[in-house]
């Protein structure tokens, strides 16, 4: 399975992550997260990689997150409601959002990425 990378072109963290992948010669498909957010199935799969902590799926520093008052509402929402929000609004998804064959990553921490991709 080719790596699937959801990213936003104006996000410096995403640019750093893509630069890292290109530097490691990793084959990946790039998806514009705002135009094509991850599907509910992909979000559910990622949740498994994140130990079931759905808050880690959210871009908590983003404007949409703050506008919707999700800081106070998230804990009262069902997973289905959260997936509905995330799959309908890519601005709410923590980025970059990366799915590989047997792993998932959100955000960019170089050491985590090296370990997941088994590179140096």
Core vs surface per residue 104-116: b (16+ CB within 10 A) or e: bbbbbeeeebeeb
pLDDT tens-place string over residues 18-77: 999 999 999 999 999 999 999 999 999 999 999 999 999 999 999 999 999 999 999 999
Q: What is the pLDDT of residue 118?
A: 86
Q: Which domains does the chain have, with CATH numbers?
A: 3-118 (3.40.30.10)
Q: How confident is the model at residue 1 (pLDDT cuts 50, 70, 90)?
A: low
Tell me the C-alpha distance between 93 and 56, whole Å: 9
Q: Is the dihedral of CA 96, 34, 83, 75 positive or negative?
A: positive
CA dihedral 74, 80, 83, 84 (to 10 degrees): -100
Predicted TM-score (pTM) of this structure: 0.93
């Amino acid at each position: 399975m080719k790596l699937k990378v959801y990213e936003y072109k104006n996000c410096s963290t995403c640019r750093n992550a893509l630069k890292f992948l290109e530097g490691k010669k990793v084959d990946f498909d790039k998806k514009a997260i705002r135009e094509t957010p991850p599907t509910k199935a992909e979000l559910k799969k990622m949740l498994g990689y994140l130990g079931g902590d759905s808050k880690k799926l959210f871009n908590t520093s983003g404007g949409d997150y703050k506008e919707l008052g999700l800081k106070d509402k998230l804990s009262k929402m069902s997973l289905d409601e959260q997936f509905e929000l995330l799959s309908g609004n890519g601005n709410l998804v923590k980025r970059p959002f990366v799915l590989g064959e047997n792993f998932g990553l959100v955000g960019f921490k170089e050491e985590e990425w090296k370990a997941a991709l088994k590179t140096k």
